[in-house]
């Protein structure tokens, strides 16, 4: 990946806004949510899934198998259980043609890490998840 890549991280579990009639709900940011937040940028990507666990959940194992080789288009990725999938200790790489342009990595069911050189992607992540903070290369390497 080019040296201009930047890395950020944010909490995977979110407290939804308090409503006057109920307490806040906790929800998990899914892979599908992240991909959808990329809008038209994400639609042009092809994806490859990897998991660091030797025993991936069946849905993620199917995603890894389908994305092996040339990868899978965004809409196919979203159709593969992604809206419900908690992708513990995994990463999904986004390619524009043959160039790796984005990595979405879920770490230990507690955070999402994003690596890209695209300023718009970084600003969209920061806008959507205000607790986003920069990561150092050492932090990125230690969660891999």
What is the structure's pLDDT at 1?
47
Q: What is the pLDDT of residues 67-91, one digit of tens each?
A: 888 899 999 988 886 556 666 678 8
Task: State the Rg of the chain over Cα.
Answer: 15
Residues of the chain with pLDDT under 70: 1-3, 16-24, 53-56, 81-88, 143-144
2 Cβ contact partners less than 8 Å away, ≥ 6 residues apart = 117
Pairing of strands 72-73, 99-107: unpaired
16 Cβ contact partners less than 8 Å away, ≥ 6 residues apart = 24, 25, 26, 27
pTM of the predicted structure, to 2 decimals:
0.85
Burial class of residue 72 (count of CB atoms within 10 Å of its CB; 0-12, 13-18, 19+) = buried
């Amino acid at each position: 990946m080019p040296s201009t890549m930047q890395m950020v991280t944010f909490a995977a579990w979110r407290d939804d806004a308090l409503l006057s009639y109920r307490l806040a709900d906790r929800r998990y940011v899914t892979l599908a949510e992240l991909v959808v937040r990329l809008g038209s940028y994400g639609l042009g990507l092809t994806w490859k899934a990897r998991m660091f666990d030797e025993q991936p959940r069946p849905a993620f194992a199917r995603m890894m198998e389908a994305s092996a080789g040339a990868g899978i288009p965004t809409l196919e990725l979203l159709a593969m259980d992604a809206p419900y999938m908690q992708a513990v200790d995994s990463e999904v790489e986004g390619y524009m043609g043959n160039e790796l342009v984005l990595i979405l990595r879920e770490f230990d069911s507690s955070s999402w890490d994003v690596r890209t050189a695209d300023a718009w992607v970084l600003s969209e992540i920061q806008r959507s998840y205000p607790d986003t903070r920069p990561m150092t290369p050492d932090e990125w390497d230690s969660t891999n």
